């Protein structure tokens, strides 16, 4: 019989590099120490640890409020631990959270929410929390935290896209906690590595360009001075801007008539009029008119992120 639960999947970003640099024995000890700590913290917050998955843990909560409070507190406490962690074992935490009916079988759990939480954890960047929209229904966020709309995301095995939010928890945390102080490193090593491996690929007709996050912000527009030129009368001179913010590629519409965003895998088209959204995976942006207009200039995008 199924039960309604909030499912949390938390895993360590950068563990592969730690195994390569330290070897199996030392890396396993470092990962086990952290995942054991995570399990204890989630249990203290009201969660039930279902199982350990290599460099991650799968946890269920009966109460959505307790789940959100727990993941925010864990990220904040873990950030403090990271401030004193040597670069060799520095592994930021990323968390995916989903709500739905799950099946409990032999001390394990299965179901849509389990799949979604695992997939969201894979898609997040270092230090991030992504949650499905159902998690936030009728729930008050923990103090100092806020939710930012990311849009629909396609989850493998589902026909319908999942609407996702990022829970931003860092407001009550000193930014110095994200900095490694050492002779060689005076910045967030893994977050920097993550940003360097993210690429943004844009295509329109014969125009094709790939950008690194270090090249952002870039502008999409009709004028020749734009970083990505779409020479169509529907398009404003400076139509949209791409920024790298909090580990995400953010599209901001700055046009006269708006932009429409469509993500691969389904979901409703998202209209932006002087608004912004996070781009993820693959999709398309119609500039100045809807996708239903056959004359619409449509830019394809592909966000290449490390797994």
Range with the lowest mean pLDDT among 34-38, 117-121, 216-220, 273-277? 273-277
Whether the pLDDT of residue 302 is over 60: the answer is yes
CA–centroid distance for 299 within its chain: 22
Is residue 10 within 8 A of residue 57, CB to CB? The reply is yes
* Contacts (Cβ under 8 Å, ≥6 apart) of 278: 148, 149, 150, 151, 166, 248, 249, 250, 251
Q: What average pLDDT does the segment 28-42 reach?
A: 95
- Number of residues in the chain: 307
Cα gap 176→181, rounded to integer Å: 9
**Cβ burial, residue 225 (10 Å; 0-12/13-18/19+):** exposed
Cα gap 283→302, rounded to integer Å: 7
Q: Is 162 helix (H, G, I), strand (E, B) or coil?
A: strand
Q: Is 189 helix (H, G, I), strand (E, B) or coil?
A: helix
Q: Is 98 helix (H, G, I), strand (E, B) or coil?
A: strand
Q: What average pLDDT does the segment 131-137 reach?
A: 94
Is residue 11 within 8 A of residue 121, CB to CB? The reply is yes
Whether the pLDDT of residue 239 is over 90: the answer is yes
- Give 232's pLDDT tier (boundaries 50, 70, 90): very high
Q: What is the mean pLDDT of the chain?
A: 86
pLDDT value, residue 175: 41
Q: Is 202 helix (H, G, I), strand (E, B) or coil?
A: strand
Q: How many CA atoms lie within 13 A of 86 on its CB side?
A: 7
Over pLDDT 70: what percentage of the chain? 88
Look at residues 187, 221, 178 and name the one whose alpha carbon lies nearest to residue 202.
Answer: 221
Whether the pLDDT of residue 264 is over 70: the answer is yes
Whether the pLDDT of residue 246 is over 90: the answer is no
Q: What average pLDDT does the segment 47-55 reach?
A: 92
**Cβ burial, residue 143 (10 Å; 0-12/13-18/19+):** exposed
Cα gap 296→149, rounded to integer Å: 26
pLDDT tens column, 147-179: 988 877 767 667 777 888 989 897 544 444 444
Q: Which domains does the chain have, with CATH numbers?
A: 2-188 (3.30.70.1230), 198-304 (2.60.200.20)
Q: What angle do CA 7, 141, 162 make, to 5 degrees?
A: 45
Whether the pLDDT of residue 184 is over 70: the answer is no
pLDDT value, residue 34: 95
């Amino acid at each position: 019989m199924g039960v309604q639960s909030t499912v949390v999947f938390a895993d360590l970003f950068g563990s592969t590099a730690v195994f390569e640099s330290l070897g199996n024995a030392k890396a396993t000890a470092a990962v086990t120490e952290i995942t054991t700590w995570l399990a204890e913290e989630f249990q203290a917050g009201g969660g039930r640890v279902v199982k350990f998955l290599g460099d991650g843990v799968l946890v269920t909560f009966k109460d959505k409020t307790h789940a959100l409070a727990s993941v925010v507190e864990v990220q904040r406490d873990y950030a403090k631990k990271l401030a004193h962690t040597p670069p060799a074992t520095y592994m930021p935490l990323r968390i995916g959270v989903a709500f739905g009916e799950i099946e409990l079988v032999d001390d394990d759990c299965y179901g849509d929410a389990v799949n979604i939480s695992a997939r969201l954890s894979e898609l997040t960047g270092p230090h991030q929390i992504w949650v499905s929209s159902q998690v936030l229904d009728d729930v008050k966020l923990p103090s100092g935290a806020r939710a930012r709309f990311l849009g629909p995301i396609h989850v493998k095995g589902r026909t319908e896209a999942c609407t996702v939010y990022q829970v931003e928890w860092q407001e009550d945390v000193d930014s110095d906690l994200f900095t490694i102080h050492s002779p060689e490193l005076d910045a967030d090593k893994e977050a920097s590595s993550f940003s360097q491996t993210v690429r943004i690929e844009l295509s329109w007709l014969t125009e094709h360009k790939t950008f690194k996050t270090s090249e952002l912000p870039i502008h999409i527009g009709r004028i020749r001075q734009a970083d990505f030129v779409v020479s169509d009368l529907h398009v404003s001179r400076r139509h949209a801007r791409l920024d790298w913010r909090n580990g995400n590629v953010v599209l901001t519409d700055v046009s006269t008539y708006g932009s429409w965003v469509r993500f691969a895998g389904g979901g409703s088209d998202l209209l932006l009029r002087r608004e912004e959204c996070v781009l993820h995976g693959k999709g398309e942006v119609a500039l100045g008119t809807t996708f239903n207009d056959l004359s619409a200039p449509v830019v394809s995008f592909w966000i290449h992120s490390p797994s």
